[in-house]
Amino acid sequence: MSAEATNPVSAADAAVTDTTVRRRGRARIDLRRLGRAALLGATAGPAPRDRLPDAISHVAEAHRAHHPEADLAVLRRAYVLAESSHRGQFRKSGEPYITHPLAVTLILAELGAETTTLTASLLHDTVEDTEVTLDQVRREFGDEVAYLVDGVTKVEKIDYGAAAEPETFRKMLVATGNDVRVMSIKLADRLHNMRTLGVMRAEKQARIAKVTRDFLIPLAERLGVQALKTELEDLVFAILHPEEYENTRALIAENSHAGDALDAVAEQVGAVLREAGIGAEVLVRPRHFVSVHRVRLKRGELRGCDFGRLLVLVAEDADCYGVLGELHTCFTPVISEFKDFIATPKFNLYQSLHTAIAAPDGAVAEILIRTHRMHTVAEAGVVALGNPYAGQEPYAGPTPLTARPALVPGPGLTPDPQPEDGERVDPTRPGWLSRLLDWQQSAPDPDTFWSSLRAHLAEDDEITVFSADGSAPGTISLPAGASCVDAAYAQHGEAAHGCLGARVNGRLAPLSTILGDGDTVQLLIAQDTVSGPSPEWLDHARTATARIAITGWLQAHPEAVAAPADAGPRPQVNVPADRRSGAVLHADLDGEPPAAVRPAGCCTPVPPDEITGFRVRGGSVTVHRAGCAAVETMRGVGREPVTVRWGDTAQCRVTLVAESFGRPHLLADLTEAIATAGAAVVAATVEPPSEQRVRHTYTLHLPDAAGLPALMRAMRDVPGVYDVNRARRRGRAEPRES
C-alpha cells in the first residue's frame, strides 16, 4: 500500500492542489514523491556492487539535484544494511518496513539534506527495531552517523514505563542541542508516519496527531522547516478537526478557478518588473488547507486572491527592495501589511519582505519578495544549511554549546552583529533551543517536563529586549507577553531568585511589568545568597524556565510562603519572600529542631527587639516583635508561642518606610544619608505620589543593629522627610493612615 493510499488528505484534495501548483509554476518543495517505484525497488533483488539499488534511485536523484558532487557509495552501504536488517518486517499498512526509512530519507533529500543526514536517516530505526547495534553503526559509518541514529532512537519502554514518551523527547532535545540534524530526521520521520496514519485506529490517530500538534509542529516552525510544518499542519487538521477540514476542502474545490485573479495580478507585476529592468520570477503560491481555514476565520467570505499569494524571487538582497519600490509606486499598497524580515530576520532564519497591493477589482493580493537563497532557507530551514561540521575533521563528537564555531552565512542570510546572542550567528544552535535545554535540567519529573515543554512550544511569537547590564548578554529573546520575571531568569538563571526590581527603559518598574519588543531592561539582583522568589512571581511568569525555577525554590523552602492567616496583605515592597534579618536566631523547642527560624515580614524584628515565635507550616518558626498585632492573632487561633532569642551576631536586615513630601533629588538625598550611616541598600521601592506625599520603602543591611536608631534619625533629618518607621504589614485591625 503506497503512502498516498493511507494519507488522510484524500487523493481528490491532492489533485486540486497539485493541478494548481503545476498550472501556476511550482514554487514549493514537493515532498510527496515516494510511492510505488520505491516500494517495487525495495522488494527487488540485490543490486550489483557497482551501482545503486533501484529502491534508492529516487533518493539519489533528489540528493544529486542539491549536491551534484555527493558520494553516493555510503548511501548504498547504508541502504544494504537497513534493507537486510529490516527484511521480514512489515508496517501495519502491509508494506515492507524498508519503505519507511526510504520515504523519510527521500523527504530529507528533497529538502537538500547532506549525505551524512541521509545516511543516518536510512539507518534511523535499525538500532531500535533490529539486531543492529549502535557500535556496529559506529564502526561502519563513523561517530557522526552513530550520534544522529542514537539521537532519534526511542528509550526502552520497559525501563521508563509511562514516562517513555516524554523521556524520549527529552533525549532527542538534548541530542538536538549538540546536533540539530537529529530533529530534522525526527520531523521527516513523523511526516511519513502521519501520511500513512490511516491504517491506525481512530483513537490512536488522534493521540499521535495531538502530540504532533503540540510538539513536532512547533519544533518544525522554530527550525524554519516550513515545508514539513505546513504538511504536518494539514494532516493534523484532517484528523483532529474533520468537519472544518471537509468544509475547507470543499471550499477550495468550489473555487478551483478563483486563482485566475492572482494569475492576472502576477502578469501585471511581471510586466512592471520587466519594464523596470529587474530580473525576477513571479509565481503564484497556493495556500495550504490550514492557511485557507485561518484566512476564512479572519476575513469571512474569501475572494479569488485570498486562496494564494504571489512569490517574487530575485537574485540579490538589493533587488528585493527594488521590487518593493516598484510595486509601491505602480500599485496601491496596503501599508498595514508591510513587514521587513530581511533587515530583521525571524528567530527561525526566515527572511522575506511581505507586502500587499490592491488588485483592480478591489481585492487585496499579498506578495512575498525574497532571493532564491532566502526561499530555500524559508522552505527547508536548518536542513538547507548543509553539514554544520564540515570543517571539523575528524569528527570528535558533537561540539559543546559553549564552544561551537559560528557559521559563515550563505547568500541571503544576514549575520547578527552581536555574536554573543547566538540566535543567528550560529543558526544550528538557536537561542530558543539553548534556553529549552537549560530549563529541562530543572524538570527531572517527566510529567513536569512534558507539560512545561508543551507550554514552552505554544509560545508562538518572540520579542527581543535589550539588557542594560554590560556584564550580561546584550539581547534577550522572550515569548510575547513575557514579564520582567521572565527576563530575570532568562538572563541570570538561578541568581534571579534574588531579583529585587527592574528598570524598564530607564524607569523603575515592578517585576510584573509586561515587556515589549525592543524594550531595554536592567534587572536589580541582590548579592546575598539567602534571597528567594515570592509566590506571586508565578502569576507573572510566562516562560517555563522561570516557572520551573520559582516552583522548585518554593518547594525547597516551604517556610518562605508560610504566613499568619489573618496577617493581611503583603507590604508593597519589591523584596523576596525570604526576608532574613541577617541576625542569628535560636528557638528553644522540645524534640526535632525547626526547619528554619526567621523574622516575620510583618514587623521585621532586629536586635535587641523583644521577640516571640510561632510554629508555622513546613515546621519552621516565624519570629515577631512582641508588640506586633500578628502575635495576638496567632494566640487567638490557638498557636502556642515558642521561646526564641537573638544570637551573638550584631548584623541585621531591616525594612524602613520613609514618609515625605515630594521634591526633586529626594531619592538621591535619602540614599546618601543611608550610605553615610553605614547601611547597604538591598531593595528600594518608591510608591506613586499621592497629594504631594511620597512613601519610600527600603530594605537595608546594617553591620550592627545598634546603629538602627541613628540611621532612622539621619533619614528623618533629610529635608522633606517627616517620618521614618519600621515596616509593618497592615492587617484588618490596622488600617492604613490617611
In the three-class reduction of DSSP (H, G, I as helix; E, B as strand; rest coil), residue 386 is classed as coil
3-state secondary structure of 427: coil
CB 563 within 8 A of CB 598: no
Q: Determine the Cα–Cα distance for residues 311 and 121; give it in Å rounded to an integer.
A: 32
Going along 432-519, which residue ranges are E strands? Answer: 462-467, 475-479, 499-504, 507-509
Instruction: Give the sheet arrangement for strand 353-358, strand by strand.
Output: 281-286, 308-314, 364-371, 353-358, 339-340
Q: Retrieve residue 442's grid coordinates.
A: 530543572
Alpha helices (runs of H) in 458-592, residue ranges in sequence order: 484-492, 544-556
Quote the DSSP letter at residue 522: E
Containing H/E element for 725? strand 721-726
**Regarding beta strands 499-504 and 353-358, do their DSSP bridges make them parallel or antiparallel, or are they unpaired?**
unpaired
Cell numbers of 510, please? 515592578
Nearest to 299 by CA among 307, 289, 288: 307
Phi, psi of 179 (to 5 degrees): -155, 105
Q: Give phi and psi for 587, each to the nearest 5.
A: -120, 135
Which among 578, 637, 584, 571 has a CA at the least distance from the CA of 611?
584
Give the span between the Cα atoms of 59 and 77, in whole angstroms. 14
Residue with cell 518593493: 324
Dist CA 572 CA 620 (whole Å): 24
Pairing of strands 364-371, 308-314: parallel
Instruction: Give strand pairing partners of 726.
Output: 656
Cell numbers linked to 454: 508543551
The β-bridge relationship of strands 597-599 and 621-625 is parallel
Q: CA 575, CA 534: separation in Å to the nearest integer? A: 8
CA distance 682 to 526: 6
Furthest-apart CA atoms within the chain: distance in Å: 98
Is 459 assigned a catalytic role? no
Residue 18 annotated among the catalytic residues of the structure: no
What per-residue string of b and e applies to 430-440 under the rule 16 or more CB within 10 Å gives b? bbbbebbbbbb
662 Cβ neighbours under 8 A, 6+ residues apart: 689, 692, 693, 694, 720
Closest CA to 497 of 465, 462, 541: 541
Among candidate residues 4, 18, 61, 128, the one labeled active-site is: 128
Q: Look-up: residue for cell 537538500? A: 112
Residues tagged active-site = 128-129
